[in-house]
């Protein structure tokens, strides 16, 4: 179980790197799922996560955004991560979300261990 949480954390931290590429629909969908998850687990920074999610569509027309969201690849990317991210719980989720965002880093009690 600990290994799985670690694997999910690694996946969560690596996803923004995919956004630097051409942004295929599946990756945009996966990133949207990550930012939606982070907005739920760290609601005090919801606006920051929403800004990051919106930035994925920068330069696209509303029609292009709608088309992207309707694509099978986008839906697959979103649903894949939306299905597994809730397995990251509590402080680990907040720390992982802050690691991939422009949200200011905060100290999180005794459950955070140095790596």
User: Is 62 domain-assigned?
Assistant: yes
Which pLDDT band, with edges at 50, 70 and 90, does 18 fall under? very low
Residue 7 pLDDT > 90, yes or no? Answer: no
Residue with the bigger pLDDT between 2 and 83: it is 83
The domain in which residue 41 lies consists of: 2-99
Q: What percent of the chain has pLDDT over 70?
A: 69
User: Is 112 domain-assigned?
Assistant: no
Name the burial class of residue 89, with classes exposed (0-12), middle (13-18) and buried (19+) by CB atoms within 10 angstroms of its CB: exposed
Check if the beta carbon of residue 50 is closer than 8 Å to that of residue 109.
no
How many domains, in total, are found in the chain?
1
pTM above 0.85, yes or no: no
Residue 111 pLDDT > 70, yes or no? Answer: no
Which pLDDT band, with edges at 50, 70 and 90, does 50 fall under? very high
- The confidence score (pLDDT) of residue 100 equals 79
From 76, 73, 79, 54, select the one nearest 65 (Cα to Cα). Answer: 54
Q: How many angstroms separate the CA atoms of 28 and 19, rounded?
A: 7
58: its two tokens: 């920068």
User: What angle separates helix 25-41 from helix 2-19, to the nearest 10 degrees?
Assistant: 120
User: Is 57 domain-assigned?
Assistant: yes
User: Is 84 domain-assigned?
Assistant: yes
Which pLDDT band, with edges at 50, 70 and 90, does 23 fall under? confident
Which pLDDT band, with edges at 50, 70 and 90, does 109 fall under? very low
User: Is 55 domain-assigned?
Assistant: yes
User: Is 33 domain-assigned?
Assistant: yes
Q: How many angstroms separate the CA atoms of 49 and 99, rounded?
A: 12
User: Is 95 domain-assigned?
Assistant: yes
Residue 28 pLDDT > 90, yes or no? Answer: yes
């Amino acid at each position: 179980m600990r290994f799985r949480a670690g694997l999910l954390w690694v996946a969560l931290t690596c996803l923004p790197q995919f956004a630097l590429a051409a942004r295929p629909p599946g990756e945009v969908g996966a990133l949207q799922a990550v930012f939606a998850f982070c907005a739920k687990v760290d609601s005090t920074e919801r606006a920051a996560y929403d800004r990051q999610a919106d930035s994925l569509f920068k330069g696209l027309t509303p029609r292009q955004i709608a088309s992207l969201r309707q694509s099978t690849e986008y839906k697959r990317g979103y649903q894949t991560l939306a299905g597994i991210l809730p397995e990251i719980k509590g402080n680990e989720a907040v720390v992982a979300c802050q690691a991939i965002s422009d949200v200011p880093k905060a100290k999180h009690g005794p459950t955070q261990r140095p790596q």
